[in-house]
Amino acid sequence: MKLLTRYMSREIYSSLLLVFVSLLMLFGFFDVLGELSEVGKGHYNMLQMFIYVVLITPTRIYELFPVAVLIGTIFALVQMASNSELTIYRSSGASLRQMIKALFKIGFPLMLLSLLIGEFVAPSSMKLAQELRLKALNSQVSLREFRSGLWVKDEGSFINVKNVLPDSTLLNVSIYEFDQDFSLAGITSAQRGTFKQEGVWQLDGVVQTLFDKQGARVVHLPRRDWHTSVTPDILRVLMVVPEQMSAWSLYLYTQHLKENRQESARYEIEMWNKVVYPFSVMVMMLLALPFATHQRRSGGIGGKIFTGIVLGLSFYFIGRLFAHLGALNDWQPVLSASVMTIAFFGLALGMLWWTERR
C-alpha cells in the first residue's frame, strides 16, 4: 500500500506541475495582453507590467487549483491505466477503498497548500500588485459605482470618502453624526485622513459644523483625531472584490456589517466559499479515479482529459453563478458556497459505483 501511494503521488504531483505550468503560461499571456493598453500611462512601463503579472500569479494558482488537480490526476491515472499499472495493483489485492485512501493521502498536502495560498499568499500579493499598478499610473482608487464616493456606516455616524489612495490615505472625508433620536448632531469635513493607530485617524484641514438648540456653529481646526472602528482593512474590503480577500478579512467585515445592520450576504457567501474551496481538491481527486478505467473505445487519454477540463471549468463557473444567485435571492451562505462541491462529490461517488458495477 505504501508503494502504491508513493508511486501514485510521484505521478500525480509531476502531472499536476505540468498542468499548472501550462495553465499559468496561458493565463499569464492573457494577463499581459490585457495590460498592454495601460503601458506608457504615467510611470507604468513594461517591467512594472511584468511584475504586476507575476504578483497576481498566486491568485491565478488559487483559482485554478481544483481544475488543475482534476486534469493532472486524470492524466496521471489514465497513463497508469493505459500501461496496465493500475490493473496490476488491483489484481495484487489493492481494493477501491485502498486506492481512495491513497488519493486522500496524496491530496491532503495539496488541500493545505490551497488553503495557505488562498488565505495568506494570494490576498497579500494581489494587494501589492494593485498598489504597484495604481502608483505607477499616478491614479487614486475611486469607487465610481457611487457618484458621491465611498459610504460607510459606523454606529451612529455615516462616513463619506471621495477618494482612497493606495496607502489607505483618505481624501475629502465627510462624517455625518446623529444623536440617539436620529437627529443630525454635526457634520465634520476634512481634506485628508491618515491612519494613526487602531481606532484613531488623524484628520487634516477640518471644518466642523455642530447643531444644537441654539442653532448651528462652525469650527475650523488644522487637525483633529477621529475615533472610529473603521480601519484600513475595512476600507480595503470595499476597494477589493470579495473573491480576492482572505476568509479572516471577510469574517471581520461581515461582523462589522451585522453590527451596523447592513446587508452581508455577499461577503458571507465568499467567506464560506474560502472555507469550502480547499476541500474541493479532495473531491476533484476522487472524481478523477473513475477515469482510470481506460478503454480505447471510450475516447482515449485525450477524450478523458477534455472531459476533465469541461468538468473543472463547469465547477468553477457554475459555482460562481450559485454564489451570485445566493446573494441576490438571500439563500443560506453555507449552501450557496458548498452546493457545487457537494454536487461533484455525489457525481464522483456515482461514477465510482457505476465503474465498479461494470
Q: Quick one: 122 and 219 in the same domain?
A: no
Domain span at residue 192 reads 156-228
Give the predicted TM-score (pTM) of the model. 0.78
Please indicate, yes or no, whether residues 210 and 61 belong to a single structural domain of this protein.
no
The length of the chain is 358
254 part of a folded domain: no
Under 8 Å CB-to-CB from 113, ≥6 apart: which residues?
A: none
Residue 243 is assigned to a structural domain of this protein: no
| Residue 257 placed within a domain | no
Where does 240-299 have alpha helices with state H? 247-259, 265-276, 279-288
**Residue 201 exposed, middle or buried by CB count within 10 Å (0-12, 13-18, 19+):** buried
In a shared domain, residues 36 and 71: yes
Asked if residue 181 belongs to a domain, the reply is yes
Distance of CA 294 to the CA centre of its chain: 35
106 falls within a domain: yes
246: region left, alpha or beta (phi > 0 left; psi from -120 to 50 alpha): beta
Q: Any idea of the CA torsion for 253, 258, 260, 262, to the nearest 10 degrees?
A: 90
| 277: in domain | yes
Structurally, how many domains does the chain consist of?
A: 2
In Å, what is the CA distance from 259 to each residue of 154, 248, 256, 262? 9, 17, 5, 8
142 part of a folded domain:
no
39 and 110 housed in the same domain = yes
Domain end, chosen from 178, 206, 228, is at 228
Both 204 and 344 in a single domain? no
- Give me the tens of pLDDT residue by residue for the chain, a chain 358 residues long: 677 788 889 999 999 999 999 999 999 999 999 999 989 888 889 999 999 999 999 999 999 999 999 999 999 988 888 777 777 777 777 778 888 888 999 999 999 999 999 999 999 898 888 878 877 876 554 444 455 677 888 878 889 888 777 677 888 999 999 888 888 889 999 999 999 988 899 999 999 999 887 888 899 999 999 998 888 877 766 666 787 888 998 898 888 778 777 778 888 999 999 999 999 999 999 999 888 764 544 456 778 888 888 998 899 889 989 888 888 888 899 999 999 999 999 999 998 888 877 6
The secondary structure element, H or E, covering residue 19 is: helix 2-35
Residue 237 is assigned to a structural domain of this protein: no
Give the cell for residue 136. Answer: 505607477
Between the CA of residue 1 and those of 12, 47, 97, 110, 256, what are the distances in Å? Answer: 16, 50, 11, 20, 50
Q: Are residues 193 and 282 in the same domain?
A: no
Q: Are residues 344 and 272 in the same domain?
A: yes
Q: How far apart are CA 54 and CA 20, in angstroms?
A: 14
